[in-house]
Amino acid sequence: MTEISASDLTLEEKASLTSGADFWTTKAVERAGIRSIMMTDGPHGLRKQAGGTDHLGLASSVPATCFPPAVGIGSSWDPELIEQVGAAIGVEAAIEDVAVVLGPGINIKRSPLCGRNFEYFSEDPIVSGLLGAASVRGVQSQGVGTSLKHFAANNQEFDRMRASSDIDPRPLREIYLRGFERVVKDAAPWTVMCSYNRLNGVWTSEDPWLLTRVLRDEWGFDGLVVSDWGAVNDRVTGIAAGLDLEMPASGGRTDAQLVAAVRAGELDEGVLDTAASRAIDLVHRAASRPAADGPLDVDAHHALAREAAGRSIVLLKNDGALLPLSADRTVAVIGAFAAEPRFQGAGSSLINPTRVDAALEALREVGGDRVAYAPGFAIAGGAVAASGRTAEELQAEAVETACAADVAVVFLGLPAAEESEGFDRDHIDLPSVQLAVLDAVLEANPHTVVVLSNGGVVALPFHERVPAIVESWLLGQAGGSAVADVLYGEVNPSGKLTETIPVRLEDNPSYGNFPGEFGHVRYGEGLLVGYRWYDAKGLEVTYPFGHGLSYTTFSYGTATASVTEAGDIAVQVDVTNTGDRDGREVVQVYLAPVRSIAQRAPRELKAFSSVALAAGETRTVGLTVRREDLAYWDIRVDRFVVEGGDYTVEVAASSRDIRSAVVVPVEGDAISLPLTMDSSVGDVVAHPVAGPIVMGALGGFLGELNATDSSAASMMPNDDAMEKMMASFPIGRLIGFPGIDVTYEQVEQLLAAANEGVAVPA
């Protein structure tokens, strides 16, 4: 079959290909053999709506496996696992003839309040980027496309369809775009979804800088850009900026606008050709996937969901080795979440699961009648709420149940209504009724384990009083079984935090700048997002980024680091499982230049590896820090620059548990910054050619100042202070000062010669 191209189509046909036919499908051009394809959510399972359609997760969809959302699976820090889950989602999409799954979402968790944090991986761009790339690779390995979203700087839900995220160039490049860049370059998603918001005042759906210059020209993206559902402001401006496909349907209204704009000479037809060609390419890509036969192996996918959920759980605390539970102990399970699990977040990612495991049932499968249950509190809309029992009755029963057992396991969490796409939280606290039940249970039985179900971080005011805490996030449909696996030790927990748990919301870097007002949110914390901030400020946190315990322990040897021929940093460290259980450790590498001309966080994560180690086993773990990840965005030259000098390489079990550090010298990128009359004396002095000459002249100048005891010199305690003050003085302004024995022309000549790299005679 010969492939149709845009030039075979009429203007109207081309325009028709650039917007949806309905909620989930593109338009066909039957005459030309271009079929319609379906794009649907995503990201942690398939949400294919068969009847009613919407982007809010209201109408139900075909049953599909609900894998752990990003907040959960991200805690595995394991690209291989995420790729495997991605492949399973790809299989389910292929069976349902879905061409593109709308995900992954890799926006940075700037504030714990963002209502959609459960759909995102991390507060760190390397984690988000590497895990996002793995997800894309997995889905696309099945011949199904992905849509990397939400591009870009969509870090809150409040006013998400209008607000402008106002971000300085360095944090924009180094924090908010870095993960997207990584996924585009490493995994080539078929499509990228622009976000709803504006970025520095410009709608992302019509920003040529974002959609074309950065995404295509700099990063080499060659797929299709689709709008978030309803993100189009002005269609003609959008298509010219690089927004190829508008979703969902516009009822033909915006297609007509495109046709009219071309006819009126306001839009170059070539722009429409390009967008239509990309739409055709996407259809061809989708068509090249061999037909996938069902039925879905529901059990196998449920088993994978259970494994993934087990790997997502983070053991925050385990004093006195309270966990794992031994099956012969009596256990009081308290908390309605044990029987009425929360396993995913609300909104467009809402999956209709093939089944749902509750932790209570799974615990009873192991512990039998040694497992007692008291709901403790009601969850709005749940069975306990419907029973009409009072809070006092429920609490009293919980205390009685806890008293009678060896161990109490208290399931606390955020009610579904508190976190969702479309709005943010305004606090990070667990409901007070739950905290009261916990306090009462703790008093009755100090052997208490807390299991948390939440999509966004919650404050843990009880963390010092409770001996064991399990952060089980939202774990997907098999989460209940996975929690039982971890509590009884069938699975050794290995998840680590991809975001900091702060002591108080007020400590968070975005506090005071979130969620903004009057259509603008200023990212005032700049580069210091997440742990970068807490470390820079030396703030206490409840649990740091990268933290997570195991039922075994790991020791680290002395790390080594060297620069490879490609300029990357190769790090090696021996890690030993020093306990008597097999386990997994997430080895983390943080870097910081010893000295820098630019603002830097005390440490930044640059590489990590999830390593399985049998009891007693030692393995040499190799990690690579890519040279490009060392770079900061230099606003003087508008590009990433690797600064030369010594870098401290820290090998760590968490951002606050550094096990070994080594210093490695790195050669910097050459940047050429021509000297001008506005260059500071410091810049000129640092110049290899001009420096020595200027130093000579300045030396005399400083001597003269001191000798005459001028007021300028007498203000300074010593020569050193004088030199520091002079360092920021523009060279051009010095000419004519007493003691500066050079003319304007001579300085001009000197700078010109220095800029040409010519040695100037003294």
699: Cα separation from own chain's centroid: 51
Which two structure tokens, joined as six digits, stand for 449?
A: 């384990």
Say how far apart CA 337 and CA 350 lie, in whole Å: 18
What's the closest the beta carbon of residue 176 comes to ligand BGC, in angstroms? Answer: 17
Say how far apart CA 98 and CA 40 lie, in whole Å: 7
Q: Which residue's CB is nearer to ligand BGC, number 20 or number 413? A: 20
What's the closest the beta carbon of residue 25 comes to ligand BGC, in angstroms? Answer: 13
DSSP 3-state assignment of 447?
coil
Output b/e per residue, 385-403; b: 16+ Cβ within 10 A.
Answer: beeeeeeeebbebbbebbe
What's the closest the beta carbon of residue 101 comes to ligand BGC, in angstroms? Answer: 9
**Alpha-carbon distances, residue 358 vs 164, 239, 484, 487 (angstroms):** 41, 47, 9, 14
Q: Which amino acid, one-letter code, is at 255?
A: D
Among 48, 55, 603, 606, binds ligand BGC (CB under 6 A): 55
Nearest to 50 by CA among 38, 61, 41, 42: 61
Q: Which amino acid, one-letter code, is at 618?
A: T
Q: Does 102 bind ligand BGC (CB under 6 A)?
A: yes
Strands 468-471 and 314-318: antiparallel
- Cβ neighbors of 735 (< 8 A, separation 6 or more) are 742, 743, 744, 747
Four-residue CA torsion sign, 738, 739, 741, 743: negative
Q: Does 149 bind ligand BGC (CB under 6 A)?
A: yes
Q: Which residue's CB is nearer to ligand BGC, number 43 or number 476? A: 43
Segments of 188-261 assigned E as strands: 191-194, 198-199, 202-203, 224-227, 246-249
Q: Which residue's CB is nearer to ligand BGC, number 131 or number 652? A: 131
Contacts with ligand BGC, 23-42, as mask; x by CB under 6 A: ------------------xx
Strands 554-556 and 541-543: unpaired
What's the closest the beta carbon of residue 40 comes to ligand BGC, in angstroms? Answer: 8
Q: Which residue's CB is nearer to ligand BGC, number 70 or number 541? A: 70
What's the closest the beta carbon of residue 221 comes to ligand BGC, in angstroms? Answer: 18
Q: Which parts of 215-234 interact with ligand BGC (CB under 6 A)? A: 228-229
- The CA dihedral of 427, 428, 431, 437, to the nearest 10 degrees, is -150
- Do residues 195 and 126 lie in contact, with contact meaning Cβ atoms separated by under 8 Å? no
- Cβ neighbors of 272 (< 8 A, separation 6 or more) are 6, 11, 14, 15, 18, 239, 258, 262
Q: Which residue's CB is nearer to ligand BGC, number 247 or number 693? A: 247
What's the closest the beta carbon of residue 571 comes to ligand BGC, in angstroms? Answer: 36
Q: Which amino acid, one-letter code, is at 508?
A: N
Q: Which residue's CB is nearer to ligand BGC, number 104 or number 530? A: 104
Q: Which parts of 581-610 interact with ligand BGC (CB under 6 A)? A: none
Q: Which residue's CB is nearer to ligand BGC, number 228 or number 419? A: 228
Task: Please count the other Cβ atoms lying within 10 Å of the Cβ belonging to residue 673.
Answer: 12
What's the closest the beta carbon of residue 566 comes to ligand BGC, in angstroms? Answer: 36
The three-state DSSP-derived secondary structure of 10-27 is CHHHHHHCCEECCCCEEC
What's the closest the beta carbon of residue 377 comes to ligand BGC, in angstroms? Answer: 32
What's the closest the beta carbon of residue 204 comes to ligand BGC, in angstroms? Answer: 12
Q: Which residue's CB is nearer to ligand BGC, number 102 or number 750? A: 102
Q: Which residue's CB is nearer to ligand BGC, number 55 or number 317? A: 55
**Count of residues that bind ligand BGC according to CB under 6 A:** 8
- Do residues 515 and 163 lie in contact, with contact meaning Cβ atoms separated by under 8 Å? yes
- Do residues 743 and 735 lie in contact, with contact meaning Cβ atoms separated by under 8 Å? yes
Give 319: exposed, middle or buried? Use CB within 10 Å, 0-12, 13-18, 19+: exposed
Q: Does 110 bind ligand BGC (CB under 6 A)?
A: no
Question: Which residues are known to be catalytic?
Answer: 228
What's the closest the beta carbon of residue 479 comes to ligand BGC, in angstroms? Answer: 22
Q: Which residue's CB is nearer to ligand BGC, number 55 or number 301? A: 55
User: Using CB under 6 A as the criterion, which residues of the chain lie in contact with ligand BGC when the complex forms?
Assistant: 41-42, 55, 102, 149, 228-229, 348
